[in-house]
Amino acid sequence: MKKELKLMKGNEAMAEAAIRAGADAYFGYPITPQSEVLEYLTNFAYQKTGMVILQAESEIAAINMIYGAAGAGKKVMTSSSSPGISLMQEGISYIACAELPCLLVNVVRGGPGLGTIQPSQGDYYQSVKGGGHGDYKMIVLAPSTVQEMVDYVKLGFDLAFKWRNPVMMLTDGALGQMMEKVELFEQLPRETVNGIEKWATIGKTKDRERNVITSLHIQPDKMEEINLHLQAKYKKIEEEEIRFEEFAMEDAEYMITAFGLVARICQKAAMLAREKGFKVGVFRPQTLFPFPYKQIDSYTKQIKGILDVEMNAGQMVEDIRLAVNGKVPVEFHGRMGGVVPSPEEILEKIEEKFVGVPA
């Protein structure tokens, strides 16, 4: 299979990307708005590559199947939407501590509670600040197009194995459901990743010590050592893996910050603003952990203010404020419950917050 152009739904494109990335297994439980992932995979994956697909009895079972299969050194993936991801949190914490590579996808819907099946970004805190118990971090990728949903599957697996860490793709119900043109990368072989015999449970051969996957270290000194090791790893990830995209930032006087789908709407708003003579640019973190604090801070000499736009009550905005540390005003505009902001209302907010405000 060569590179291909296709018109695809986000969820299906992501599923196809998993097959093409040479994933070994997917375990998942249906939930709107991402059930197409499991449906697509059950239709095509095994036939194409022999990839294991299993509908689990719950998200709790699914994440623990992931733990088992990731522990066996395989390329494994699950996807779900907000309530299901909440159920997985204990398992994610175990996976992070045991340093198992895997790709998790949250096609976020509006909450709290059963909420709505419409898109939301309400799970930023859960993904970036923990979610489960203890001091751990996932690498969090935030796509803004169906194309990025495809590309981040491959990138996600690569990062997961590079760092032996869970990677979360934080997308939303709109991206999962919308159809866009995508370029699919060519089929990669399913192959064993180098070096897994050093840690994976694949059967102890005579030439090595047994491998044990665990997150239990009851001696405080040992547990602290594990924590320090994890923190050192996260620090290196912060040094090496920050990704972001800038739009019209060269001469911008005002900066909109947004992630995921919302950033695209903000680009439209920035264009509308420029038509009116306001120099507005957009800064979009593509990795939410590691977060581009320094890169955002570097704009504080150039810009007069920031408007952060999210589909939640204001979550990433806290990190924006940490980044600029009071050097420029940071305003927030958010919609919740599955409501997607329009470019016009964002423009209105820019005018309301910044126009006429002395620099």
In the complex, the residues that contact another protein under the rule CB under 8 A are: 24-25, 27, 52, 54, 56-58, 60-62, 64-72, 74, 76, 90-91, 94, 98, 200-206, 210-216
Nearest distance, CB of residue 19 and another protein, angstroms: 16
Gap between the Cα atoms of 235 and 70, Å rounded = 23
Gap between the Cα atoms of 263 and 322, Å rounded = 20
| 179 versus 216: smaller Cβ distance to another protein | 216
Nearest distance, CB of residue 197 and another protein, angstroms: 10
Rg of the chain (C-alpha set): 21
Nearest distance, CB of residue 64 and another protein, angstroms: 4
DSSP-assigned letters across all residues of 75-139: -EEEEE-HHHHHHTHHHHHHHHHHT--EEEEEEEB--STT--SSB--TTHHHHHS-SSSSS---E
Nearest distance, CB of residue 234 and another protein, angstroms: 22
Q: Which residue has the tokens 């939410």?
A: 288
Burial code (b: 16+ CB inside 10 Å, e: under 16) for 251-278 equals ebebbbbbbbbbbbbbbebbebbeeeeb
Gap between the Cα atoms of 114 and 112, Å rounded = 7
| 100 versus 273: smaller Cβ distance to another protein | 100
| 72 versus 323: smaller Cβ distance to another protein | 72
| 93 versus 177: smaller Cβ distance to another protein | 93
| 26 versus 299: smaller Cβ distance to another protein | 26
Nearest distance, CB of residue 78 and another protein, angstroms: 10
